[in-house]
Amino acid sequence: MKFIHAADVHLDSPLRGLERYEGAPVEDLRGATRRAFENLADLALSEAVDFVLLAGDLYDGDWKDYNTGLFFSRQMARLREAGIQVLAIAGNHDAASQITRVLRPPENVRVFSTRTPETHRLESLGVAVHGQGFATRAVTEDLTLAYPLADPNLFNIGLLHTSLDGRPGHEPYAPSSLDRLRSRGYHYWALGHVHQREVVAREPWVVFPGNLQGRHARESGAKGCTLVQVEDGRVSGIEHLALDVVRWAVCPVDLTEAVTLDEVYDRVEPVLRAAARAADGRLLAVRIRLTGLCAIHDRLHAGFDQIVNDCRALAGGIGIGEPWVEKVLIETRGTRAETTPDRHDAVGELLRSIRELRLDAPRLAALTEEVAELGAKLPFDLRTGDDAFDPTQADYLQGCLEDVKSLLLDRLLGQEAERENGTP
């Protein structure tokens, strides 16, 4: 027997704010969840699996129109023609309280109740699948307490959307524990909600397959589903298969002791090449993190736009796959603070004043209040998403201050260098 375990498809997930990025492959990114789901259907057909498990968050909240549901039905019809059944539960994003438009699912799709756990038996395969979906977005109780004990005559699977005992970056919905899962006596727990693949345990198998398609830089690396083989009533092997069509990567680049922009690009290029090779020909969205202690720190901040566009030009010219630089983060630290602390002239005093600029709590609160009206007028797409622009956030204001300080220091020290070198 063979089955597929997938979760967190987030079909037609709205990727807001992409238009802000120069050269962003907007249509490729927005269509990625559908193409990944088509890959899932293709895999089910090519592997001739017996059934497919969908462990919640098939959708991403309410549909803009019925096309999302119609697309899902078309893919399920492909599996129906091959005699493949699909068993699904609702997660927090597609809970009954989140979806107002409803389409009758194809007859090969079984959606479990959101009121109480149900058991669906596949008699011909000797399988019992136990599951319950989310009735509301925020389920805070342990649903497994009501799951039935295993049927001793069948291979038992638990289908559950859960944070388990907590995972960073995920809401603590339907919390449970490994001991409670084991107490049901099932052979395999098919979990959803956590977007990072994880094999929690092997006795019994407890698996998060991760989401099907990464949607932003926090969902980097290969994404897909888990293919499970069962022999003689036991799991004989599992395999994670990548189905994503867009791969996200976060690439740190150490600029320690770099002093020129050419050195920066010389270090960025091989990192981009390695990431592109690892993407196996997929469209690659890269977030570059420039780190390290370097003399060029202030210049990086001052010439930020040039740095970003030079990195994008590098990505476009490496000749491997389709890399696109989504963002460049400057997380370097400067070395100039130690080179001019003892100057006693006006420039030295000004440099020290700039470096000592800080936003303490009262200043930060006052500044946040001043920009609150501006923040409220910003477009919704600009204020939301993975790359939100919100000037009322303390961290964002602190970052702006660092950028301003770096710009001022670069200009002042650059002018000093020009005078010392006799440049007019």
Q: How far apart are CA 18 and CA 395, in angstroms?
A: 22
CB 258 within 8 A of CB 267: yes
Distance set, CA 27 to CA 5, 23, 34, 192, 247 (Å): 28, 11, 12, 27, 15
pLDDT at 417 over 60: no
Burial code (b: 16+ CB inside 10 Å, e: under 16) for 31-57 equals ebbbebbbbbbebbeeeebbbbbbbbb
* Domains of the chain and CATH, by start: 2-242 (3.60.21.10), 246-420 (no CATH)
CA distance 275 to 315: 10
DSSP letter assigned to residue 386: T
Between strands 198-202 and 205-208, the pairing is antiparallel
pLDDT at residue 404 tops 70: no
Q: Is the pLDDT of residue 6 over 80?
A: yes
Exposed e or buried b per residue across 7-19, where buried means at least 16 C-beta atoms within 10 angstroms of its C-beta: bbbbbbbebbbbe
Query: Which pLDDT score, from 0 to 100, does residue 169 have?
Result: 74
Most confident of 29-33, 213-217, 238-242, 256-260: 238-242
| Most confident by average pLDDT, 58-62, 134-138, 228-232 | 228-232
Checking if the pLDDT of 414 tops 70, the result is no
Give the pLDDT mean for 5-15.
Answer: 90
Residue 256's DSSP bridge partners are: none
CB 367, CB 397: distance < 8 Å: yes
Give the residue-averaged pLDDT of 133-153. 94
Look up the pTM and report it. Answer: 0.80
CB contact set of 339 (below 8 Å; sequence gap of 6+): none
